[in-house]
Structures are given as C-alpha cells and as structure tokens.
Structure 1
Amino acid sequence: MTRRPVFLNLFRIALPIGAISSFLHRISGVLLLVALPAVAILFERSLATPGGFESLRNGLGSVPARLGMVLLGWALAHHVLAGIRHMLMDAGLGWRLADARRSAWAVVAGSLAIVAFAAIAAA
C-alpha cells in the first residue's frame, strides 16, 4: 500500500487559473441564485407604489447596498463570461492548455473590468 502525501493547507496549494476561474464560476452562480428572491421582492415593491419606489431608491444609495450591487454585478459578469468560455470549450474551441489558460485569465480580468466600469459609470 502506497502512502500518499497529505497537504491540507489550502492557502499554500497553487491552483491553476482554470481551476480558479471554474471555482469562481460556481461561487458566482450560487450567489446569483441566492440573491434572486431578494431582487425579485425589491423589484415588486418598487413597482407597487410610488412611495415604495422612492424608499427603494433611497435605500439603494447607501454604501452597503452599493457594495452589494457591485458584488452582484461582478457575479453576473463573471458567470456569463465563464459560461461562454465553457460553451466554447464544449464546442471544441480553446480546449488546448495554452488557450484554456488565456481564456481563464480573460474571464477573470474581463469580469473585473466590466464591474469596475459599471461602478465608475454609476457613481
């Protein structure tokens, strides 16, 4: 029986960028799924009455709400870009290691650029 090395310090394990992008794709999907009911309720309340709309508009101007919107914006951007990357790889495009690494970096950088642009434009 061979003894396998056990290395459980997850902060010292160097994951490849493809694994990081895939992990973030899953995290962003879960985040979007969890946020969906709250977003739907807020949308419904904003349409119910003019007072509800004003209340929501004032509440979304706070710093925590803005940070939450930036987080959800990143989750949406990353999930869409990573989903397109996965679909292209399933179609046989970009599956070679060098191409897969480049596309993973593009997804991570692209999602951060999109959310940074949106946050700056909304400020």
Structure 2
Amino acid sequence: MLRNDRGNQKNWRAIRTEGVKSNRSGIGARVTVTAGGVRRIFEVRSSESYLSGNDLRVHIGMGDLKLAELIEIRWPSRQVDRYASVAVNAFYLAREGNWLKPDPLVAGRKASRTRNIQAGAQ
C-alpha cells in the first residue's frame, strides 16, 4: 500500500468557464496565465482522444507562486476578458463578459476577490 503523507505542497488554481455568447461550457476558450514573468496557455477541451472525456475546468499549477499577474480568457465569440491579481488555491467560475468569482459548485474552498482590468474583444 502506498501512502502520501506530504499532501499537496504547491499552489494551484482551477477555472471553470461558462459561455454567454459562446457555447455554455466555454469549450474552445483559451486561458492565458501570466505569473512570475512566464506566460502559459491552456484551452478548454471536452476530450483528448477517442471515447474519452475531460474535466472542463482548466487546472493551473502555480508552484511556489502566490499570485497570477494576469489571466486572460479568449472566448470562441472573440470576447476577451482580463483579470489581475488572482489568488491561488481556489476554484473559480469565469462567465463570459468579464466576470470571475469563486465557483459556487465547489463547497468549502475560499477564493479572494479579483480586480477586472479590461473587458471587450481586441
């Protein structure tokens, strides 16, 4: 039997997308995270291969970083939403139209407030 006594020592964040003009699940949205001077791009996908399925949340490992300087979501409708100073170790719901809040479907996890810095397509 294997046992993990250390637990998760690193920071993370998970974002669930919800489209308004785009499809309801936000499939196809690109999430760009800038943290520690590094830019990483994730895509919301429903599957990876034949007869498989994915969690529709974007899971972002943050290592020892405590904050993302910028999170940008490019929706299939071409809407672009930007959020600054997003805290780690929380589940978020991003609704198309510049709206990012703690995910109400995940009980028992706290997320801090964020600051919207720009809305609209570019």
TM-score where L is the length of structure 2: 0.25
Q: Which has the higher strand share?
A: 2
Which protein has the bigger helix share?
A: 1
Larger Rg: 1
